[in-house]
Structure 1
Amino acid sequence: MRLKRFANIDPIEQHTSLKQFKRWRQERIRRLKMKDYSFTVPNVEPDIAYLENNRKWPSITWVGHSTFFIQFGGLNIITDPVWSTQMAFQKRLSPPGIPIEDVPPIDVVLISHSHYDHLNINSLRRLIGSRHLLVPAGLGAKLKKKGFIRIHELHWWESVMLNGVKFTFVPSQHSTRRNPWDTNSSHWGGFIIERPTSRSGKLVGRVSGLAAEPKTADGSEAQAQIASTAEPATERLHPFFNERGQAERPIISDFPTIYFAGDSGYFQGFKEIGRRYPIDVALLPIGAYEPEWFMAPQHITPEQALQAFEDIGAKWFVPMHYGAFKLADDTPREALDRLEAERRKRRIPDEQILTLPLGETWRLSGK
């Protein structure tokens, strides 16, 4: 049987030839010698006590790269789980915001695509909890062979309901490969997390009984709001983060709509996503874009990330996909500096872009 190959919406040239790869590698040897990696994304002490006891109020904690710990509608959600200490022989630049042994039980895992910096099998195995996997079409069989059984495959615009929370798989511009023979044999995309509506998305499944309210020692429901014992230590952070007043985070609502973009080059699909969904928070990539002649089909630049932010009409933008690994020739500081320069050029209000330190929990509800 012929292997199914997935494709992008926009017709693009994928820079995957051996000749192009060799050219990039030769350029990279010269460039990396001139790069300054002295700046690293700061870490703050994660508020594990709050995360363990919170089952009511929405929150977002950046673990690193494209890994977020999200609490929404009583569910503990993890995106693109990667706790690897290195990637392609390059050591991790900053430790994960939450040690994997401290991660609370996971109800739902969102996997955007199969690349190794977005899907690490060992990390996935070490997570505890029911771990219902929502994955792109074509990836389920591979994960079943690895021993995972709670899997929902989704095509673009398909949705699944889990404990009253709606997850919709939306397009991105990318590709997939884990070995030389499986190129584009599974799909790629992002996810919309929202309260159920009838706006859009083909409902393809429903799962119940994923999560329960945490209990105290006497069996009663734990308080929904636990006092923080680990406020962000802003005085220890790099000035770039201090300028934005990291301790002050906006309060949104009990059920904000969250868009996790996964990995993507710039494409017109961002506008369609924005047309279909009133997005509150957009988790968008800003790194691994250099050299642009090679990376553009796969990864957006910081400037394109802001264009995507405007395309989808989101209210807040949390940058991701930078600061963890040397996947390309740009540095974490370069990505942030270009993001800031473009923000000023576009006159986007400073408070709409939240550069989260690793480990900080943004509580999206004021309750």
Structure 2
Amino acid sequence: MKKRRYRNLDPAARPATFGELMRWRRERMRKKKDMRFKIGQAPDKQTARLQRNRCDSTITWIGHSTFLLQIAGLNIITDPVFARRMGLDVRLEPPGLPPAELPAIDVVLLSHSHYDHMDKPSLLQLPGSPAVLVPDGLGPAVRKIMKQSCVYEVPWGAYVTIGPLSYHAVPAQHWTKRSLTDTNTSHWCGWVIRQAAAGEERFGTLYYAGDSGYFPGFRAIGDRFPDIRYALLPIGAYEPEWFMGTQHMTPEEAVQAFEDVRADTFIPMHYGAFRLADDTTEEALDRLLAEWHRRGLPRERLTLLRLGETLCDS
């Protein structure tokens, strides 16, 4: 049977050709980048508190696109990747929390199948027996890894409710590939987490964008979910823009996406862990802050977390 191939809302947003990949590789060899700037580890990690917490709402950045979210008594982790290297490149900084220091995980949210978002050893190291939510088409691969877990495939526009929370799969602009023959045979998505039970609105709605280029779908997400409090958006792996533009946002585009979804607070991610493109951690942050200042946005609406740092919303 012919495999289904997924696509973006914009049909022109496609994976790069082999020729384009080789052109980028040739350009990359001529670039010299200073990689010494580091995000740094949080000086006051709240590991013990996170392990016992079932009351307070918290957001802890572990690194790259991995967050530990504690909402309504549930421990949720996004795209867990604790790998020391990605391909030939060694991780730029250690994860903010290792798997052994995590509380038992209730829910795993996967945005797509790329190795920097879906890492088999990392999934197997998670404590607990979590439910795993994945975009359309990714269920069979994850069920082979997480044999003891309940895996839900959620297409764009649908949602799953677990306890007091609902998890909505929303569009992103990206692509997938883990082997030579499986390009776009599973989908990609972002996740919106809403509190479904009455009396649980204190934390509000959280939007985890996963991995995405800039596209008009951000405005549609803001229209559908007008109460987003926190937007976790990627700012890295954008250079060269001619090559990365359809799949990764620049920092300036990420700020526009934040304004499109009309969230209260922007928490940047997808930078500082792996050298997936030619930009550096320092460049991504400098461009983000410059754009924030240029637009005159209040500084208190931008939260820059260190690795392992916890934002408590209680």
Task: Report the Cα offset of residue 317 of structure 1.
Answer: 0.2
Residue 354 of structure 1 aligns to a residue whose secondary structure is coil
CA separation in 2, counterparts of 1:130 and 1:77? 12
Kept in 1: contact 2:124–2:145 (CA 8 A) = no
Residue 317 of structure 1, aligned match among 251, 263, 266? 266
Contact 1:57–1:254 (CA under 8 A) maintained in structure 2: no
Q: For 1:297-329, what per-residue CA distance to the aligned partner results, in whole angstroms no more than 9, with x for missing partners?
A: 100000000000000000000000000000000
> How far is 1:147 from its partner?
4.3
Report the counterpart of residue 56 of structure 1 in structure 2.
55
Following TM superposition, by how much is the alpha carbon of 1:30 offset from its aligned partner in structure 2, in angstroms?
Answer: 1.2
1:344 aligns with 2:284: no
Q: Which runs of 5 or more structure 2 residues have no equivalent in the other structure?
A: none
1:108 maps to which residue? Answer: 107
How many aligned positions are there? 309
Q: Deviations over 1:211-261 (max 9, x none)?
A: xxxxxxxxxxxxxxxxxxxxxxxxxxxxxxxxxxxxxxxxxx732210000
- Give the structure 1 partner of residue 217 of structure 2: 269
Which 4+ runs in 1 deviate beyond 4 A? none
Q: C-alpha distance in 1, partners of 2:164/2:197?
A: 10
Spell out, residue by residue over 1:181-239, the C-alpha distance to the aligned partner (whole angstroms, 9 max, x if none). 111110101100111189xxxxxxxxxxxxxxxxxxxxxxxxxxxxxxxxxxxxxxxxx
Corresponding position: 1:129 with 2:139: no
Counterpart amino acid of residue 179 in structure 1? S
In structure 2, C-alpha distance between the alignment counterparts of 1:9 and 1:142, rounded to whole Å: 24
Q: CA deviation at 1:11?
A: 2.3
One-letter amino acid of the structure 2 residue matched with residue 343 of structure 1: W
Match of 1:186 in 2: 186
What does residue 230 of structure 1 align with? none
Q: In 2, Cα distance between the equivalents of 1:47 and 1:285?
A: 24
TM-score, normalising length from structure 1?
Answer: 0.82
Helix, strand or coil: the match of 1:101?
A: helix
Note if contact 2:165-2:197 (Cα within 8 Å) is conserved in structure 1.
Answer: no
- Equivalent residue in structure 2 for 1:307, among 256, 260, 284: 256
1:361 to 2:310 alignment: yes
Question: Equivalent residue for 1:285?
Answer: 234
> Which stretch has the larger CA shift, 115-124 or 2-11?
2-11
Partner Cα distance (1:13, 1:187) in 2: 14
What is the distance in 2 between the residues matched to 1:175 and 1:196?
Answer: 30
The partner residue of 2:33 within 32, 35, 48 is 35
**Cross-structure match for 1:329:** 278
* 1:282 to partner: Cα distance: 0.2
How much has 1:157 moved relative to structure 2? 1.2
Matches of 1:264 and 1:197, distance apart in 2: 30
> Matches of 1:308 and 1:13 in 2, distance apart?
17
Cα deviations across residues 126-166 of structure 1 (Å, max 9, x unaligned)? 11112110001101111222243410000001111101111
CA distance in 2, matches of 1:111, 1:15: 20
| Separation (CA, whole Å) in 1 of partners of 2:288 and 2:143 | 39
> Structure 1: which 5+ residue stretches go unaligned?
199-252
1:16 aligned partner, one-letter code: A
Asked whether the 8 Å contact 1:81–1:118 carries over to 2, the reply is yes
Task: State the match for 1:159 in structure 2.
Answer: 159
Contact conserved, 1:63 with 1:96, CA < 8 A, in 2? Answer: yes
Q: Do the aligned residues in 1 keep the contact of 2:52 with 2:103 (CA within 8 Å)? A: no
Change (3 A) 1:197 1:271: farther
Instruction: Using the aligned pairs only, state the percent identity.
Output: 51
Q: Which residue of 2 aligns with 1:204?
A: none
How far apart are the structure 1 equivalents of 2:171 and 2:150? 23
8 A Cα contact 2:124 2:146, kept in partner: no
Report the Cα distance in structure 2 between the residues aligned to 1:75 and 1:319, rounded to whole angstroms.
23
Distance between the aligned counterparts of 1:23 and 1:15, measured in 2?
14
Q: Deviations over 1:93-145 (max 9, x none)?
A: 01100012111110000000000000001000011112110001101111222
User: Is the contact made by 2:51 and 2:101 (CA closer than 8 Å) also made in structure 1?
Assistant: no
SS in 1 for 2:266: strand
Q: In the alignment, is the contact (CA less than 8 A) between 1:15 and 1:294 conserved in 2?
A: no
Whichever residue aligns with residue 164 of structure 1, its letter is P
Larger radius of gyration between Structure 1 and Structure 2? 1
Task: Measure the CA separation in 2 of the matches of 1:123 and 1:271.
Answer: 33
1:168 aligns with 2:165: no
Take 2:69 and 2:19, find their aligned partners in 1: how far apart are those partners?
A: 41
